[in-house]
C-alpha cells in the first residue's frame, strides 16, 4: 500500500461518528448524552438543532462546547437536506414535532432503510411504556392513571406519534411514589439508558455464533435482526440457516480464534456444551473477545456431575442423594459395593449417571438393582470413555420436570419462564430418551410451584455470587417438581434445545442487547420481558433416531409450511450437492423493518423460495409458533408438519397435550 493510501485509511478509521441531536426545550437528555460520551472519551461529534429560539438547551450546548443551530420547523427539511449523509445518527431529545415522511427519508439516507416501522437512523425517547401513553404529557397521564408500572421507551421514529420500532424499554414499580418521585425516576432512567443505547447504535457489533443445530438457527434468526448488529458470522451452521450470516470455516478453536481476530469479532455466542467444557470461552476471552458461554471452570457444572453435586451441597440447593464410584485410577470393587449397599439399605434402585459428558446418553434409570449394577459396570468399563470411568449412583426422584434457563453475568441472574421439553421419542412419553422431540413454554405449573422455583433461583443466584462465578453465559437448571419441593436433576451451561426455540419466541427484548448488557455486567439493569402467549415447538425427526437415523432424503413442502405462520429452524439438514443456497428465511417474513444492510437480505423482503434440502441427521427441523389461542397454534404447527414431507419423517402427535 502506498503511503498516501495508508494515510487516507488512517484518517477514515479515525473519523468520528457524527450525531445530530434535535431538541425543543430544556435539553436534560441532550446534556446526559453528551456528558456520557465525553466521560468515556468516545470519538463522537455532537451537534444540536433546536426549533425554539430561547430554549434552555442552547445554554447547555454552549457549556458543553457543542455546535448548535436554531432552525425553524418550516426550514428543517432544507437544513437536513443540505447536510444529507453527514450524520450517523439523529437523536430526538424532547423534540416536540412529528417528522414528515420526506424528512425521515433524508435521514434514512442511501443504503439505510425506511419502512412503516420507522427510520433506523432516527431514535426517540419517550417517557412511558409504549404503546401506552403516546404523545404529550405522558408522565402526567401515566401518574393520573395510577399505573403500577411505568417506564421509558427508546424507539426508531416513523411518521406516526411514538409508534416506531421499539428498541428497548425499562420499567419500574410506581408504588407509593409522589408525582415528583415518579417523574424523577423516569428522568433518571432516561439519562442512563439513552446514552447507552446510542453508543450501541453507533458502535454496532460483529457477532459469531458457534454451532449448527436448530437452537443456533433460532439464536441466529433473532440476532440477525438486531439494531445493534454490524454483521453476523456463523461457525458450523447447517445449510438450512447458513445464509443468515457469513460462514467462518475452522478446524480447531485456535484457527477459529485467529479468524475471529482477523474479522474483528466483538462477541462469540456458544451454542453447545462441548466447546465450553473444552475452554473456548477462556481462549477467546484471553484475546479480548467477549463470550456468551461459561468458562472452563464453570462449564464443569454441566461437564462433571460430581462437581455440580458439590456445588449444590455446599450452597444448600436441594438435589438427589448420591454416591460416587471412581475407576479413573483403576478398578475399585470396595467403592462399588459400598455405594450399592448404601442404596440397598434404603431399599432403593439408584439412577446411574456418567460423571462427564456423554452426548445426553449418560443416564440409566434401571427398574431393578441388577440392571442398575449391570449399567454401572458397563459405564465404569468405559461405555462413554473417560466420561464414565467415574459415575454417580443417585436416588431416583419422582415428579414433573421443567427446564429453567437463566442468564448470568457474574453479578446477576435473570431467568426465562420455565419451559418443558419432551425427551421421550414416542407419544405418551414412551420410548427411549432423545435430545428432545418438542417443547413448550411457559410450563403449566401451579402458583405454588412457581414460587418454589423463584426461591430456588434466588438460592442459585446467591450461590453463584458466593462462589464468585466469573463468567457470562447461561445456566440451565433441570428441575424436578417433587412432592417435597423443587430439586435439581442437572445443570447445563447452555440454552436447551429445543427449549431455546420456544423461549426466544416469548422474549420481547432484543437478544443481542441483552447479551451486550451481560458483557458489560449490566444484566441487573435489564428488564427481561416476555410475551403473554404460549410457544410450542415440534421436532420433525428422521426414522431411526436417536440410534441410527436415516439420512439423505429430500425435504419437500417447506414454503407451504411457512404459510401457517410457523417458523422453521433447521438441524439435521444439508443442501443437495451442487445447489447454490438462495435466500430463504420464512422466519423473517413477519418482521416489519430490516435494520441494516446486512439484514436486508435476510429479512424476507427479497426472499426467494428454498427447497433442495436433504435430511442429514436425527432431528431434522423444528416447527415453532406462539399465540394466545393454544388450539389454533398447535393446529397450525401440525398442519405445517403434515405438508412438510420427507422419507422417514417421524414426530410426536401429542406436543402440548401431555
Ligand atoms: P440428564 O442426562 O442428566 O439430562 O438426565 C436425563 C434424564 O434422566 C432427566 O431429564 C430425567 O428425566 C432423568 N433423571 C436424571 N436423574 C434422575 C433422578 N435422580 N431421578 C429420576 N430421573 C432422573
Ligand atoms: N432439551 C434438553 C437439553 O437441551 O439438554
Q: What are the tens digits of pLDDT across the range 479-491?
A: 999 999 999 999 9
Ligand 1 pocket mutation pick from 365, 398, 498 by most atoms within 8 angstroms of CB: 365
Q: How many residues does the chain have?
A: 658
Q: Could you tell me if the CB of 622 is within 6 A of ligand 2?
A: no
Which among 605, 542, 608 is positioned nearest to 570, based on CA atoms?
542
266 near 207, Cβ under 8 Å?
yes
HEC assignment per residue over 39-92: HHCCCEEEEEEECCCCCCHHHHHHHHCCCEEECCHHHHHHHHHHCCCCCCEEEE
- Greater confidence (340 vs 111) lies with 340
DSSP 24: S
Determine whether the shortest distance from the Cβ of 279 to ligand 1 is under 6 A: no
The DSSP call for residue 176 is T
Report the distance separating Cα 336 and Cα 394, nearest Å: 13
pLDDT at 159 over 50: yes
What nine digits make up the cell of 455?
426461591
**Closest ligand (CA of 419):** 2
Question: Does any ligand 2 atom lie closer than 6 A to the CB of residue 273?
Answer: no
Q: What angle do CA 79, 83, 89 make, to 5 degrees?
A: 105
Query: Given this model, what pLDDT does residue 598 score?
Result: 37
Identify the DSSP state of 417. Answer: P
What is the Cα–Cα distance from 302 to 307, expressed in whole angstroms?
8
The CA distance from 152 to 139, in Å, is: 10
What is the distance in A from the centroid of ligand 2 to the CA of 657?
Answer: 20
Would the pLDDT of 187 be above 70? yes
Is any atom of ligand 2 closer than 6 Å to the C-beta of 421?
A: yes
* Proximal ligand: closest to the CA of 435: 2
Mean pLDDT, residues 219-228 taken together = 90
Span from the CA of 478 to the centroid of ligand 1 (angstroms)? 8
Among 117-121, 207-211, 301-305, 460-464, the range scoring the smallest mean pLDDT is 117-121
Beta bridge partners of 537: 439, 624
Cell of 176: 407509593
- CB of 321 closer than 6 A to ligand 1? no
Q: Is the CB of 355 under 6 A from ligand 1?
A: no
What number does the ligand 1 atom closest to the CA of 398 have? 21
CA angle 430, 424, 502 (to 5 degrees): 135
pLDDT at 565: 87
- pLDDT more than 70, % of the chain: 91
Q: pLDDT tens digits, residue range 585-637?
A: 434 433 444 433 333 333 333 334 456 789 999 999 999 999 999 999 999 99
What is the pLDDT averaged over residues 545-561? 92
Instruction: Tell me, using a 6 A CB cutoff, whether residue 492 lines ligand 2.
Output: yes
Residue with the nearest Cα to atom 5 of ligand 2?
Answer: 496
Q: State the distance between the two ends of the chain, measured CA to CA, in whole angstroms.
A: 66
Contact residues for 261 (Cβ-Cβ < 8 A; gap 6+):
287, 289
Q: What is the pLDDT of residue 224?
A: 87
Q: For residue 250, how far is its CA from the centre of ligand 2 (angstroms)?
A: 26
Mean pLDDT of the chain: 91
180: CA distance to ligand 2 center in Å? Answer: 48
pLDDT of residue 534: 98
Q: Which residue has its alpha carbon closest to ligand 1 atom 7?
A: 363
Q: Give the number of other CB atoms < 10 A from CB of residue 364.
A: 20
- Measured from the CB, is residue 357 less than 6 Å from ligand 1? no
Residue 108: what pLDDT?
84
Q: Taking the CB of residue 499, how many other CB atoms lie within 10 A of it?
A: 27
Cell 460462514 appears where? 247
Q: What is the predicted pLDDT for the residue at 559?
A: 81
What strands lie across the sheet with 613-615, from one edge to the other?
Answer: 554-555, 613-615, 573-575
Cα 39 versus chain centre, distance: 30
The answer to whether 389 and 380 have CB atoms below 8 angstroms apart is yes
The preferred substitution site among 277, 308, 403, 622 for testing ligand 2, maximizing ligand atoms within 8 Å of CB, is 403
Atom of ligand 2 nearest to the CA of 492: 5
472 close to 291: Cβ distance less than 8 angstroms: yes
370-413 pLDDT, tens per residue?
Answer: 999 999 999 999 999 999 999 999 999 999 999 999 999 999 99
pLDDT in the model for residue 251: 96
Q: Which residues contact 579 (CB under 8 A, 6 or more apart)?
A: 612
Amino acid at each position: 500500500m502506498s503511503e498516501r493510501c495508508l494515510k487516507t485509511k488512517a484518517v477514515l478509521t479515525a473519523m468520528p461518528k457524527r450525531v445530530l441531536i434535535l431538541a425543543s426545550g430544556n435539553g436534560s437528555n441532550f446534556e446526559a448524552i453528551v456528558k456520557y460520551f465525553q466521560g468515556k472519551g468516545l470519538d463522537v461529534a455532537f451537534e444540536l438543532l433546536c426549533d425554539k429560539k430561547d430554549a434552555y438547551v442552547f445554554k447547555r450546548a454552549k457549556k458543553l462546547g457543542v455546535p448548535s443551530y436554531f432552525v425553524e420547523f418550516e426550514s428543517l427539511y432544507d437544513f437536513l437536506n443540505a447536510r444529507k449523509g453527514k450524520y450517523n445518527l439523529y437523536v430526538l431529545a424532547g423534540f416536540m414535532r412529528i417528522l414528515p415522511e420526506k424528512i425521515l427519508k433524508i435521514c434514512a439516507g442511501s443504503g439505510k432503510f425506511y419502512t412503516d416501522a420507522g427510520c433506523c437512523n432516527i431514535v426517540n425517547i419517550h417517557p412511558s411504556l409504549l404503546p401506552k401513553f403516546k404523545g404529550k404529557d405522558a408522565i402526567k397521564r401515566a401518574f393520573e392513571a395510577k399505573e403500577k408500572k411505568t417506564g421509558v421507551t427508546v424507539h426508531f421514529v416513523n411518521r406516526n406519534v411514538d409508534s416506531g420500532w421499539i428498541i428497548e424499554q425499562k420499567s419500574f414499580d410506581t408504588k407509593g411514589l409522589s408525582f415528583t418521585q415518579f417523574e424523577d425516576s423516569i428522568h433518571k432512567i432516561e439519562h442512563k439508558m439513552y446514552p447507552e443505547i446510542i453508543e450501541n447504535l453507533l458502535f454496532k457489533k460483529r457477532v459469531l455464533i458457534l454451532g449448527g443445530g436448530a437452537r443456533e438457527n433460532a439464536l441466529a434468526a433473532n440476532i440477525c435482526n438486531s439494531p445493534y448488529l454490524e454483521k453476523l458470522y456463523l461457525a458450523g451452521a447447517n445449510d438450512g440457516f447458513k445464509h443468515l450470516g457469513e460462514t467462518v470455516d475452522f478446524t480447531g478453536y485456535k484457527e477459529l480464534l485467529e479468524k475471529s481476530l482477523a474479522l474483528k469479532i466483538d462477541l462469540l455466542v456458544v451454542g453447545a456444551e462441548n466447546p465450553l467444557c473444552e475452554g473456548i470461552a477462556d481462549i477467546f476471552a484471553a484475546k479480548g473477545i467477549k463470550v456468551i458461554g461459561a468458562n472452563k471452570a464453570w462449564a464443569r457444572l454441566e461437564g462433571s456431575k460430581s462437581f455440580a453435586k458439590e456445588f449444590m451441597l455446599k450452597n444448600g440447593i436441594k438435589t438427589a442423594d448420591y454416591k460416587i464410584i471412581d475407576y479413573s485410577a483403576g478398578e475399585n470393587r470396595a467403592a462399588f459395593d459400598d455405594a450399592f449397599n448404601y442404596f440397598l439399605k434404603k431399599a432403593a434402585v439408584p439412577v446411574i449417571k456418567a460423571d462427564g459428558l456423554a452426548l445426553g446418553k449418560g443416564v440409566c434409570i434401571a427398574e431393578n438393582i441388577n440392571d442398575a449394577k449391570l449399567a454401572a459396570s458397563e459405564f465404569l468399563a468405559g461405555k462413554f470413555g473417560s466420561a464414565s470411568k467415574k459415575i454417580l449412583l443417585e436416588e431416583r426422584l419422582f415428579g414433573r420436570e421443567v427446564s429453567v434457563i437463566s442468564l448470568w453475568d457474574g453479578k446477576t441472574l435473570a431467568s426465562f419462564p420455565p419451559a418443558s421439553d419432551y425427551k421421550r421419542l414416542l407419544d405418551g412419553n414412551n420410548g427411549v430418551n432423545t435430545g428432545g422431540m418438542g417443547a413448550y413454554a411457559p410450563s403449566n405449573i401451579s402458583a405454588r410451584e412457581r414460587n418454589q422455583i423463584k426461591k430456588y433461583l434466588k438460592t442459585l443466584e446467591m450461590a453463584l455470587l458466593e462462589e464468585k462465578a466469573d463468567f457470562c453465559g447461561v445456566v440451565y437448571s433441570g428441575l424436578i417438581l417433587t412432592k417435597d419441593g423443587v430439586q435439581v436433576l442437572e445443570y447445563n451451561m447452555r440454552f436447551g434445545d429445543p427449549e431455546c426455540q420456544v423461549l426466544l419466541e416469548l422474549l420481547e427484548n432484543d437478544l443481542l442487547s441483552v447479551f451486550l448488557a451481560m458483557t458489560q455486567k449490566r444484566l441487573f439493569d435489564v428488564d427481561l420481558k416476555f410475551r403473554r402467549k404460549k410457544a410450542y415447538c415440534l421436532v420433525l425427526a428422521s426414522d431411526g433416531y436417536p440410534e441410527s437415523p436415516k439420512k439423505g432424503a429430500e425435504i419437500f413442502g417447506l414454503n407451504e409450511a411457512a404459510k401457517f405462520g410457523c417458523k422453521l429452524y433447521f438441524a439435521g439438514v444439508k443442501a443437495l450437492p451442487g445447489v447454490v443456497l438462495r435466500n430463504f428465511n420464512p422466519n423473517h417474513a413477519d418482521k416489519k423493518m430490516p435494520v441494516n444492510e446486512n439484514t436486508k437480505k435476510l429479512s424476507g423482503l427479497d426472499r426467494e423460495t428454498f427447497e433442495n434440502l436433504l435430511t442429514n441427521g436425527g432431528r431434522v427441523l423444528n416447527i415453532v409458533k406462539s399465540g394466545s389461542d393454544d388450539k389454533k397454534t398447535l393446529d397450525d404447527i401440525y398442519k405445517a408438519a403434515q405438508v412438510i414431507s420427507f422419507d422417514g419423517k417421524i414426530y410426536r402427535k401429542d406436543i402440548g397435550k401431555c
